[in-house]
Each structure stands twice: as structure tokens, then as C-alpha cells.
Amino acid sequence: MSKVSVLQLPIRFDFQHHVAFTADYEKALADKDVTNLQLDFSRVQYLDSSALGMMVLLAKKAKDSDTAVKLEAIGVVGAARDILEMANMAKFYQIK
């Protein structure tokens, strides 16, 4: 059975969100029914290089996991979209 897990990101997606973000994605990756992991950027107004690093680490862990989890960044607009595109995150995430 396929399942979508959505991680709601904060207005400021930075290193202060590291512990919660890691706990959330590890829980989703541990669920063998999860086939889609979506990062909801709809509230994000600011993200920094540590957020990009956390996203790359998630992509690496998802790739190394036993299941094939599709990664998506949804609700990405404005400066957040520009930053994700400049950082070439499209090679890890489908950006919507």
C-alpha cells in the first residue's frame, strides 16, 4: 500500500529546525508504507544553507534506505523556489 507523508516546514527553515526535521523524516523513512515524502514549503519565507544541507542529507538517507521513496518539495514559491533552483535541488526533489 502506498502512502504519502507530508512534513510541514516552518516559516524560517534553518538550523534551529534541525532536530525536529530530522526526527520527522526519520519517522517517515522508517514507515515501509511511505512511498512519497513531501516537504511542504507553503509557509517558508526564509531558508538558509543549513536547510539545504538538511535536505541533501535527507535525500542521501532516502536513497540509502530499503524502500524507494519519492521526494517532493511542494508549495514552493518566491525566494524559496529561487534558492532551491540555484542550489540545484531538482536533482534530489521534484519541485512543485
Distance CA 4, CA 45 (A): 24
Range of the domain at 58: 3-95
Number of domains the chain is built from: 1
Which positions of the chain have pLDDT values less than 50? none
What's the confidence (pLDDT) of residue 90? 94
Residues 6+ apart with CB under 8 A from 3: 31, 33, 34, 35, 36
What's the confidence (pLDDT) of residue 1? 55
What's the confidence (pLDDT) of residue 63? 86
Torsions phi, psi for 64 (to 5 deg): -80, -10
What's the confidence (pLDDT) of residue 76? 95
Query: Within 10 A of 28 (CB to CB), how many other CB atoms are there?
Result: 20
Q: Where residue 58 sits, what CATH number does that domain have?
A: 3.30.750.24
C-alpha neighbours within 13 Å on the C-beta side of residue 8: 3
Q: Report DSSP state, residue 92.
A: T
